[in-house]
Amino acid sequence: GAGVSQSPRYKVAKRGQDVALRCDPISGHVSLFWYQQALGQGPEFLTYFQNEAQLDKSGLPSDRFFAERPEGSVSTLKIQRTQQEDSAVYLCASSLLEGGTGELFFGEGSRLTVL
Amino acid sequence: AQSVTQPDIHITVSEGASLELRCNYSYGATPYLFWYVQSPGQGLQLLLKYFSGDTLVQGIKGFEAEFKRSQSSFNLRKPSVHWSDAAEYFCAVGPLNTGTASKLTFGTGTRLQVTL
């Protein structure tokens, strides 16, 4: 498709399990962002990539969260030893321009539920 | 730290009525300002953005927003609401002069319900 694709759309994990969430940005988009959206809240910034370089990871809530974009296209957000407070929708967004000054295109999100 | 306040959690309007959604921000300077819409099961879609220049910004789907520096506000308006406008609306700010305008800070959202 032409938009940002995220998988899985829904993930249920038992507390302590590791999960991996995938994002396929729009082809050619330089910038890629991950946001976390808790229930009833606005999205919160997690991390930002410019091509394969992770330029900002200041929003990652703990060292259990790890993101990568090794070839400058697909990105994976990994959460180790999941906790209940990790339950949220994880949104990926991409932008054509460097620095994300262009329009952000969001995927539909991956909803993570930790039991 | 920058913050965004959307004081109305839930608004109900009749189809055809006018709409205004409030947004106030706290920031050391004029940030980049955005409004996004999120329909159930859908990703966030950009309605409009303000970077500089004319303080009245036109967006998609008939929406507009006005930046008022003196009030630190960026309220979203639509003269006549359609039933398909029912959704969650988010105001967001992005940092100026850091090259990452899309490192956005979002408000908590306003859920719009449209009655027929």
Q: Do B102 and A93 touch (CB under 8 A)?
A: yes
Distance from CA of B37 to the nearest CA of A (A): 11
Which residue type sits at B66? E
> Any bridge partners for residue B44, and if so which?
B38
Is residue B40 very low, low, confident or very high in pLDDT (cuts 50, 70, 90)?
Answer: confident
DSSP secondary structure, chain A, as one string: --S-EEE-SEEEE-TT--EEEEEEPPTT--EEEEEEE-TTS--EEEEEEETTEEEE-TT--STTEEEE-TTSS-EEEEESS--GGG-EEEEEEEESSGGG-S--EE---EEEEE-
Q: Are strands B10-14 and B110-115 parallel, antiparallel or unpaired?
A: parallel
All residues at 6 or more sequence positions from A110 whose CB lies less than 8 Å from its CB, including other chains:
A6, A7, A8, A9, A10, A11, A21, A89, A90
> A14-32: per-residue pLDDT in tens?
999 999 999 999 999 999 9
Residue B101 and residue A100: Cβ atoms within 8 Å?
A: yes
- With CA atoms as reference, the chain B residue closest to A95 would be B102
CA neighbor of B112 nearest in space, from B7, B37, B12, B23: B12
Q: What is the mean pLDDT of residues B91-99?
A: 74
Task: Select from A42, A45, A99 the Cβ nearest to the Cβ of B101.
Answer: A99
- Tell me which residue of B88, B71, B89, B78 sits closest to B25, measured CA to CA: B71
Put simply, the chain B residues between 39 and 78 with a CB less than 8 A from any chain A CB are 41-46, 49
Residue of A nearest to B106 (CA): A42
The yes-or-no verdict on residue B79 having pLDDT over 80 is yes
Under a CB-based contact definition with an 8 Å cutoff, are residues B62 and B79 in contact? Answer: yes
CB proximity B92 to A under 8 Å? yes
Chain B residue numbers with beta carbons less than 8 Å from the beta carbon of A40 are 108-109
Question: Encoding tokens for residue A103?
Answer: 């329009």
Contacts of B90 in chain A (CB under 8 A): 42-43
Please tell me the predicted confidence (pLDDT) of residue B31.
81
Rounded Cα distance between B28 and B2, Å, is 8
